[in-house]
C-alpha cells in the first residue's frame, strides 16, 4: 500500500475528527474545560483528591493579602452568610443565566509540567450561555490556539487558526500555499452538535460546578461583606484560594483566585445576563469544511 501524501494526511485529520480542538495542542489538550479545571483545582486542594496548599504557598501573599488594600469594610450591607448556605442557589442561578462573560488565566504548567513558568494560558467565553450566540477563545502565551463563534447548531472557526492546528497535528507537513491564501480572512463552518456543546459556557459551568460543589475547603469558608472596586460583595477566602460572590437572593460568582508555585490562576465573571455574542460571520467570509479539504488537496 502506497504511503499517504501530505494532502491526504491533512484531509484525514480534518474530516476524521469530531471535535477539532482536541488536536489544537495535542497532547496537552489545553482547550478542554474539564482538563483545565481538574488541574487547577488539584493544585489548590479544592478538587476531589487534591492536596491541600502548602504552608509556603499560603504565606506567599495569596489573593486575600494582595487585595486587602483594595477592599474596605462595609458594615451597612448584609452580613455574608457561610459559603455552604448559598452554594446551591449560587450554581442554580449561574446555570440558569441567559449570558455571561468569563475569562480564565493560569500558568502553562497547570497543564504541562514541561512548560516554562513564564507561559500563561487564557480562556474566554462570552455571549449566550447555551451557545445560541456566543464566542470562545483559548490563548497560549499570547498565541491564539483556538477561537470560535457559536451560532445555534453550528460554529465557525477562523481558517488560519484551523490550518495552524492541522499543521501541528500532522508533523513534518506543510500547508499548501494556495490553501493559506484562499483561507485568509475566512471562517470554516462546522455543523456538529458535539463541537458546539463542547465550547459553550453552559458546558464550562457544568464542569466548574462538578469540580467545586461540596468541596473542601470552600464549604468551610465563612464570608465577609466587603466593598471591592466600588461594588459590595461577599468574599470567601483562606488566604490561598478566594471566591468573590455578588450578594443577594440570586448570587453569582464574580471571581475565583488562587496561588500556585508558578503564579496565580484567576477566573473572572462579568456581564451576567447582559453579555452579547457577535452572531455568524458574513456569508462571503465563510467556507464549509469540504471546501477547505479541497484546498488542502493542492
Helices 83-95/201-212 angle, 10° precision:
160
Q: State residue 219's pLDDT score.
A: 87
Q: Please, are residues 178 and 109 in contact by the beta-carbon 8 Å criterion?
A: no
d(CA 165, CA 173): 12
Burial class (CB in 10 A: 0-12, 13-18, 19+), 29: middle
Closest-CA residue to 235 (of 249, 254, 215, 211): 254
What proportions of the chain, in percent to the nearest 5, are helix, strand and coil? 35, 30, 40
d(CA 76, CA 203): 37
Size (the chain), residues:
298
Q: State residue 17's pLDDT score.
A: 46
Distance of CA 103 to the CA centre of its chain: 7
Buried b (16+ CB within 10 A) or exposed e, 145-183: bbbbbbbeebbbbbbbbbbbbbbebbeebebbeebbebb
Q: State residue 58's pLDDT score.
A: 30
Q: Please, are residues 244 and 66 in contact by the beta-carbon 8 Å criterion?
A: no
Beta strands in the chain (DSSP E): 71-73, 101-107, 120-127, 134-140, 143-151, 154-158, 187-190, 223-228, 231-237, 241-246, 252-260, 263-270, 286-288
Helices 159-169/6-16 angle, 10° precision:
110
pTM listed for this prediction: 0.75
**Each residue's pLDDT tens digit in the chain (298 positions)?**
555 554 544 445 455 544 434 333 332 333 444 444 444 444 444 443 333 333 333 333 445 434 444 555 545 667 899 999 999 999 999 999 999 999 999 887 766 666 666 788 898 999 999 999 999 998 988 888 889 999 988 889 999 988 888 877 776 677 888 888 988 999 999 876 666 777 889 988 998 888 888 888 888 999 999 999 899 999 999 888 899 999 999 999 999 998 766 778 899 999 999 999 999 999 999 999 888 888 887 6
Q: State residue 73's pLDDT score.
A: 54
Q: State residue 274's pLDDT score.
A: 97
End-to-end CA distance of the chain: 22
The grid coordinates listed for 265 are 490562576
Q: State residue 176's pLDDT score.
A: 85
d(CA 144, CA 110): 18
Amino acid at each position: 500500500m502506497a504511503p499517504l501524501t501530505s494532502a491526504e494526511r491533512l484531509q484525514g485529520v480534518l474530516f476524521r475528527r469530531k471535535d477539532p480542538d482536541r488536536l489544537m495542542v495535542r497532547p496537552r489538550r489545553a482547550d478542554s474545560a474539564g482538563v483545565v479545571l481538574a488541574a487547577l483545582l488539584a493544585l489548590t486542594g479544592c478538587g476531589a483528591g487534591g492536596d491541600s496548599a502548602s504552608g509556603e504557598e499560603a504565606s506567599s501573599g495569596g489573593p486575600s493579602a494582595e487585595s486587602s488594600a483594595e477592599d474596605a469594610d462595609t458594615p451597612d450591607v448584609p452580613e455574608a452568610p457561610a459559603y455552604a448556605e448559598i452554594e446551591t442557589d449560587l450554581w442554580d442561578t449561574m446555570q440558569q443565566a441567559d449570558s455571561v462573560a468569563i475569562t480564565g488565566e493560569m500558568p502553562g504548567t497547570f497543564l504541562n509540567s514541561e512548560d516554562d513558568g513564564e507561559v500563561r494560558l487564557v480562556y474566554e467565553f462570552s455571549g449566550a450561555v447555551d451557545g445560541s450566540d456566543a464566542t470562545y477563545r483559548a490563548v497560549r502565551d499570547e498565541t491564539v490556539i483556538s477561537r470560535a463563534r457559536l451560532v445555534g447548531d453550528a460554529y465557525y472557526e477562523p481558517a488560519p487558526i484551523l490550518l495552524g492546528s492541522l499543521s501541528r497535528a500532522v508533523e513534518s507537513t506543510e500547508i499548501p500555499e494556495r490553501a493559506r491564501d484562499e483561507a485568509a480572512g475566512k471562517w470554516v463552518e462546522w455543523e456538529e452538535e458535539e463541537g458546539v456543546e463542547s465550547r459553550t459556557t453552559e458546558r464550562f459551568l457544568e464542569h466548574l460546578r462538578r469540580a467545586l460543589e461540596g468541596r473542601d475547603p470552600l464549604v468551610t469558608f465563612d464570608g465577609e461583606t466587603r466593598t471591592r472596586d466600588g461594588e459590595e460583595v461577599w468574599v470567601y477566602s483562606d488566604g490561598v484560594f478566594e471566591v468573590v460572590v455578588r450578594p443577594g437572593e440570586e448570587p453569582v460568582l464574580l471571581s475565583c483566585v488562587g496561588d500556585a508555585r508558578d503564579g496565580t490562576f484567576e477566573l473572572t465573571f462579568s456581564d451576567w445576563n447582559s453579555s452579547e455574542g457577535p452572531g455568524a460571520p458574513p456569508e462571503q467570509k465563510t467556507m464549509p469544511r469540504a471546501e477547505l479539504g479541497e484546498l488542502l488537496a493542492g
